[in-house]
């Protein structure tokens, strides 16, 4: 926030001095750099009145390709979220040509920058970055680990599988979440058991990411989930029931139907909802048998929904 108490000339003079001082510390600016800078001001502008110019400016930078990358990476240190977003978008669109520069930039000790570089590499999805990302997937900083694992998942190269599975056990929930997402993207069958275990994670990020990942591998996941419904971790069983409902089919409906006799009203309600979602009328017969004995209003609400769907 500012107030224009000074004259515009004074402000501009200060700005020129500032930019001059900053540039004095850097390498000499080439014509390319100057072009990148002027386009980037527009490409990263958030002002309403310049909104129509943002996309063309980005496109121009992308069209410059490789020569623009060194200067764009110099601008990468910015703390302005809008500029960071613009940089990421431009580098992603430049794609393969930017990868060697981004890999080289991974040598930085600035963990925040490192984390963002991994993110950009992941979005470019170039397998040339896998080896470099594998090294970063064990970094001390959880943000770097998280984005490195995410990037491995986005690239999808099986070389990353071991590191991704290891990250499922990370102490930081955000890294576990990223690992679960990566495992789903890579369709890692060997990750199914730890992913089922993760359905009971104490934080929703990994828990729900594991559920999404398992839904991508239903044939491998369904029976392991079924076997785990009576885990001592109630969260695991409850989410397992919901997942089986989403996987759907008669087998799943039958298995969750058995949970309608659970002592837990929440579990019974989730079972009824899973039957509703399973698109199997088999589960409906469980409801018809048990609804008369049910006293919990929440469970009855979900049971009645099933009956309305299958036996209107």
Partner 1 sequence: MKIALALIVCLFAANGAFAQTLPDSIQEKAAVEHLMALLNLQPTDFTFRDDYSKIDSFRLETVSRLMREPYGMISFAEHTAGILAPDDLAATLEFVFDNLKETGRDLPPVDEKGADPDEKGTNLYYESLEFNRLLSTVKKAVNVMIIPAQRKAFERLNEYQRSFLITRFKDMILEDTADVSKPVDVLDSLQKLEEEYLKEFVTFGELIDQRKLVLAGATAASEVYNELMRFLRDLAEGGISYSQILKDTVVLPSRIGIAQYLGRQKGWVIGGTGDDVYRGEYEFIIDFGGNDRYELAYDPINPHPCIIIDVSGDDDYVAQSDFVFGSGCQSVGILIDLEGDDTYNARHFSCGSGYFGFGLLYDGGGNDKYLGDTHCQGAGVFGAGILIDKSGSDLYNAALFSQGVGITKGLGLLVDYSGNDNYIITGKYPETYGLAGNDQHFLSLSQGMGYGMRPYMSGGIGIIADFGGNDNYHADIFGQGCSYWWGLGMIYDDNGNDNYIAHQYAQGAGIHLSVGILFDRDGDDFRKGKGLMQGCGHDYGCGIIIDRFGNDIYQAHDLSQGAGQANGFGILIDDRGDDAYYVMSKSNTQGYGNPRRDFGSIGIFLDLSGTDRYDGNGGDNMYWKTDSKWGGGMDRWFLKEDTTDAAQ
Taken in order 194, 219, 146, 104, the sign of the CA dihedral is positive
- Residue partners of 25: CB distance under 8 A and separation at least 6: none
What's the DSSP call for residue 280?
Answer: -
Question: Nearest approach, Cβ of 100 to partner 1 (angstroms)?
Answer: 26
What does the longest C-alpha to C-alpha distance in the chain come to? 83
Nearer to partner 1, 73 or 270 (CB): 270
What's the DSSP call for residue 188?
Answer: -
Nearer to partner 1, 266 or 285 (CB): 266
The crossing angle, in degrees rounded to 10, of helices 173-186 and 142-155 is 10
Nearer to partner 1, 94 or 179 (CB): 179
Question: Nearest approach, Cβ of 265 to partner 1 (angstroms)?
Answer: 6
Question: Nearest approach, Cβ of 130 to partner 1 (angstroms)?
Answer: 19
Question: Nearest approach, Cβ of 3 to partner 1 (angstroms)?
Answer: 3
Nearest alpha-carbon partner for 248 in 284, 281, 277: 277
The answer to whether residues 134 and 163 touch, using CB atoms and an 8 Å cutoff, is yes
Nearer to partner 1, 81 or 96 (CB): 81
Interface residues with partner 1 (CB under 8 A) are 1-5, 8, 11-12, 14-16, 18-19, 38, 41-42, 45-51, 53, 79-81, 112, 142, 150, 174, 177-178, 181, 202-205, 207-209, 211, 235, 238-239, 242, 265-266, 269-270, 273, 295-298, 301-302
Nearer to partner 1, 37 or 250 (CB): 37
Rounded CA gap, 123 and 131, in Å?
16
Instruction: Copy the structure tokens of residue 273.
Output: 């909802």
Q: Establish how many alpha carbons lie within 13 A of residue 97's alpha carbon, considering only the half-sphere containing its beta carbon.
A: 15
Question: Nearest approach, Cβ of 15 to partner 1 (angstroms)?
Answer: 4
Nearer to partner 1, 161 or 182 (CB): 182
Question: Nearest approach, Cβ of 28 to partner 1 (angstroms)?
Answer: 20
């Amino acid at each position: 926030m500012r107030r224009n108490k000074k004259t515009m000339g004074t402000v501009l003079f200060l700005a020129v001095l500032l930019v001059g001082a900053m540039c004095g510390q850097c390498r000499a600016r080439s014509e390319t750099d100057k072009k990148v800078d002027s386009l980037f001001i527009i490409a990263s502008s958030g002002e309403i009145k310049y909104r129509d110019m943002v996309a063309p400016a980005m496109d121009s930078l992308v069209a410059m390709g490789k020569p623009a990358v060194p200067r764009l990476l110099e601008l990468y240190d910015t703390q302005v979220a809008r500029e960071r977003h613009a940089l990421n978008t431009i580098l992603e669109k430049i794609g393969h040509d930017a990868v060697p520069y981004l890999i080289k930039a991974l040598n930085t000790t600035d963990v925040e920058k490192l984390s963002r570089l991994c993110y950009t590499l992941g979005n470019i999805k170039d397998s040339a970055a896998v080896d470099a990302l594998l090294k970063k997937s064990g970094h001390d900083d959880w943000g770097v680990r998280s984005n490195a694992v995410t990037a491995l998942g986005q690239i999808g190269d099986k070389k990353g599988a071991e590191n991704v599975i290891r990250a499922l056990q990370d102490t930081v929930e955000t890294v576990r979440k990223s690992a679960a997402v990566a495992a789903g993207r890579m369709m890692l069958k060997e990750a199914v058991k730890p992913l089922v275990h993760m359905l009971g994670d104490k934080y929703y990020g990994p828990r729900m990411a594991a559920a999404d990942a398992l839904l991508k591998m239903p044939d491998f996941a369904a029976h392991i989930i079924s076997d785990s419904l009576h885990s001592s971790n109630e969260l695991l069983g409850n989410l397992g029931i919901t997942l089986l409902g989403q996987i759907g089919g008669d087998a799943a409906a039958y298995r969750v139907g058995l949970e309608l006799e659970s002592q837990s009203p929440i579990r019974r309600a989730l079972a009824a909802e899973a039957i509703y979602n399973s698109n199997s009328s088999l589960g409906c017969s469980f409801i018809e048998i048990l609804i008369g004995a049910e006293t919990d209003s929440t469970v009855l609400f979900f049971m009645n929904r099933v009956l309305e769907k299958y036996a209107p």
